[in-house]
DNA sequence: CAGTGGTCTAGACCACAAT
DNA sequence: TTGTGGTCTAGACCACTGC
């Protein structure tokens, strides 16, 4: 029995088409992270290719962090490992090396809005939902965030009950809207606190500010979120790996 | 004909041992970036494994960015692509999108020195060579750098003629000392300019400063450089990709 | 125990580069 | 034309998981 590949360039090699087909299934939410995807032998039969070709396709997705192999058990889709890295701006331990308390997140506002020029440029639309949050560490506010997501893909987000959110947004994006954030670019710069931001962060107006602008992309490379986060420049630390 | 694997755990699978052996040859400088390494068939014969196993070993190194395949031509070692990313702190184009002039680099001092506590902690030795540089863009000084490298691996560095340096250090590390930088971690924070730094950067003492601390690691994961770079916080931008 | 991924083989044919 | 990497196959046996 053989299944047709998803719409994909027929000139591509079989493993690439299979990879894209599997990606589409993941993006479509056909599988969940708790259940294994079909076995390699099964996929080989289904798509009428050899197991080796399936392995090469799966290898690619494992390399991208989309799938995860567990020997003897199966291959599973992977909730983006990504989230742990989102707290890179905070010093995660006290000066003495003690781990800090869990970061908290307070939703201040959600509303339909018109995107700023920068957000609209990144997202390709002015029609957005705006989210305002304040993140704290040990009851100290450390990061003030304004987040923009395209209305077209997150319709109804502004009306979700507060209980639907954990401290992290990306799992919510996936579970409620099928949007899987796969990659992001950060840009760190320096600024000064406006009245409003200073008040939220409990610092003085015009105090030095660390500013992180992020654009997040989904599995297909389309931008799905733009955010600007501000924190006190004193004590700020941003870690980054270069390879 | 079969060559022994490099000293490596015999319990590892063949492809992993071959991968490590090839890594060792690269680190030892057995090959240069302009000449292809032995063909897959040749390596298969030499190490008495199948071509598929060689492919898997090479695949790993290609994934790490150490090797590069060129269809029809051969597999080549790759000078670290890395260097282009080292200028991530500067806005590389003017506000209007015009590319900026090439960054310049002025060596101020090289000398044997005792490492600061932070540098010694990162490098695991106090016995270092210290390098001081000033980097400029369009004749404006933008970044003041203090760089520490372990004396044990860079013996004689302080005595090299100035002509031996291009604007980038990592190629020099490799060509003169066989040290291949493969990975680094950056940490961005904000501070204030000391007298000395302010003078170099032509800003005022106590002006806001962007500070980047980097630890660089070689192919075997050993730390080989620690540097602290400072620039005017105004106009500073640090880009980073998250995956 | 059956089923899964992990390793490895020994081929085949194709696409491309260098000569 | 020759030699290289690129794709693909159809098996084999091993290591591990879960029942």
Tell me the C-alpha distance between B226 and B146, whole Å. 9
Tens-place pLDDT, residues B206-215: 999 999 999 9
Instruction: Kindly tell me if the per-residue pLDDT of A163 is higher than 70.
Output: yes
Task: Report pLDDT for B73.
Answer: 96
Smallest CA–C1' separation from B36, nucleotide: D4
User: Quick one: chain A helix, strand, coil %, rounded to 5?
Assistant: 30, 35, 35
The token pair at B163 is 């002509």
Maximal CA-CA distance, chain A: 68
DSSP state of B87: G
**Chain B residues with beta carbon closer than 8 angstroms to that of A208:** 190, 208, 233
More confident residue, A124 or B32: A124
Name the residue closest to the C1' of C16 by its CA. Answer: B72
Tell me the C-alpha distance between B91 and B99, whole Å. 9
Q: Exposed/middle/buried for A41, CB within 10 Å: 0-12, 13-18, 19+?
A: exposed
Alpha-carbon gap: B87 to the closest alpha carbon of chain A (Å)? 12
Cβ distance of A82 and B242 shorter than 8 Å:
yes
Nearest 5°: the CA angle B84, B88, B89 is 145
Mean pLDDT across chain A: 88
**Chain A residues with beta carbon closer than 8 angstroms to that of B240:** 185-188, 238, 240
Q: Which chain C nucleotides are covered by protein, judged by CB under 7 A?
A: 3-11, 15-18
Cβ distance of B239 and A184 shorter than 8 Å:
no
Q: Exposed/middle/buried for B3, CB within 10 Å: 0-12, 13-18, 19+?
A: exposed
Going along chain A from its start, the domains and CATH numbers come out as: 14-77 (1.10.10.10), 81-232 (3.40.1410.10)
- Model confidence at B92, in pLDDT bands (50, 70, 90)? very low
Tens-place pLDDT, residues A18-62: 999 999 999 888 998 889 999 999 999 999 999 999 999 999 999
Alpha-carbon gap: A64 to the closest alpha carbon of chain B (Å)? 8
Residue B118 touches partner A, C-beta closer than 8 Å: no
Mean pLDDT across chain B: 88
Task: Report pLDDT for B122.
Answer: 97
The percent of residues in chain B predicted with pLDDT above 90, rounded, is 63
Instruction: Kindly tell me if the per-residue pLDDT of B123 is higher than 80.
Output: yes
Tens-place pLDDT, residues B23-61: 999 988 899 888 999 999 999 999 999 999 999 999 999
Task: Report pLDDT for A81.
Answer: 57
Nearest 5°: the CA angle B58, B63, B66 is 70
Alpha-carbon gap: A130 to the closest alpha carbon of chain B (Å)? 23
Q: Quote the pTM value.
A: 0.89
Nearest 5°: the CA angle A206, A210, A215 is 125
A36 CB neighbour count, 10 Å cutoff: 14
The closest CB to that of A187, out of B183, B186, B238, belongs to B238
Nearest to B89, CA basis, from B142, B140, B139: B142
> Tokens 């099964």 — which residue?
A42
Instruction: Kindly tell me if the per-residue pLDDT of B62 is higher than 90.
Output: yes
């Amino acid at each position: 029995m053989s299944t047709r590949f998803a719409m994909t360039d027929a000139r591509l090699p079989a493993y690439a088409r299979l990879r894209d087909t599997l990606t589409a299934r993941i993006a479509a939410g056909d599988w969940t992270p708790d259940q294994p995807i079909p076995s390699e032998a099964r996929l080989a039969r289904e798509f009428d290719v050899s197991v080796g070709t399936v392995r090469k396709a799966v290898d690619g997705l494992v390399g991208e962090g989309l799938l995860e192999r567990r020997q003897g058990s199966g291959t599973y889709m992977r909730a983006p490992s990504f989230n742990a890295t989102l707290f890179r701006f905070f010093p995660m331990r006290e000066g003495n090396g003690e781990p800090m308390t869990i970061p908290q997140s307070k939703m201040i506002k959600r509303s339909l809005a018109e995107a700023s020029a920068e957000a609209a440029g990144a997202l390709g639309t002015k029609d957005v939902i705006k989210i305002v949050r304040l993140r704290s560490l040990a009851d100290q506010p450390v990061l003030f965030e304004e987040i923009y997501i395209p209305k077209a893909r997150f319709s109804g987000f502004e009306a979700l009950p507060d209980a639907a959110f954990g401290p992290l947004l990306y799992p919510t994006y996936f579970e409620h809207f099928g949007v899987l954030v796969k990659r992001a670019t950060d840009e760190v710069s320096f600024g000064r606190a406006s009245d409003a931001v200073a008040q939220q962060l409990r610092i003085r107006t015009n105090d030095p500010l660390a500013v992180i602008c992020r654009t997040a992309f989904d599995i297909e490379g389309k931008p799905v979120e733009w955010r600007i986060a501000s924190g006190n420049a004193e004590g700020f630390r941003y870690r980054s790996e270069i390879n």
